Amino acid sequence: MIDNNQMDQLFAQARQIADKAYAPYSKFRVGAALLCQDGTVITGVNVENRSFGLTICAERNAICAAVAKGHLRFAALAISTPDSVEPTGPCGACRQVISEFMPPNTLVRFAGSGEKQVNTTVGELYPFDSLHELMDK
């Protein structure tokens, strides 16, 4: 089980990597830090494109990088949006990909530059997940 100190450290990594985001159009940087079950942390950033549909979100970037390194089991995810005071949760596409690789009880933290943080789970972010619902039958 992940404790609050570990989530703080994971979020700090998400916040730090957000500075490397490529967001010249929206000016909205996002950093993600993904804790693998073996303790490895994989980070990702959003990478924009002038054709906004081709933009890659930080969360999916981190998951894809982890999969490319052979990681398929994850313990927690932290997301930082430093250009927003308020916490900004993952988009719908990211929630779909997150749910593909993480069970509903996986911890997720997201926050902006303000003091408010959201601590939740994949199941709370994506409550009607047919993949896991069908697997339970």
Range of 109's domain? 4-135
pLDDT at 132: 61
Nearest alpha-carbon partner for 78 in 24, 120, 114: 120
Q: What percent of the chain has pLDDT over 90?
A: 88
Out of 59, 100, 115, 124, pick the active-site residue.
Answer: 59
**What residues does 31 pair with on adjacent strands?**
45, 80
For residue range 43-63, what is the model confidence (pLDDT) as tens digits?
Answer: 999 999 999 889 999 999 999
User: How many domains in the chain?
Assistant: 1
- Taken as a whole, the chain contains a residue count of 137
Q: What's 28's domain CATH number?
A: 3.40.140.10
133 has catalytic annotation: no
Residue 98 burial class via C-beta count within 10 angstroms: exposed 0-12, middle 13-18, buried 19 and up: buried
Q: How far is residue 86's CA from residue 46's CA, in Å, rounded to a whole number?
A: 18
Indicate the pTM of the whole model: 0.93
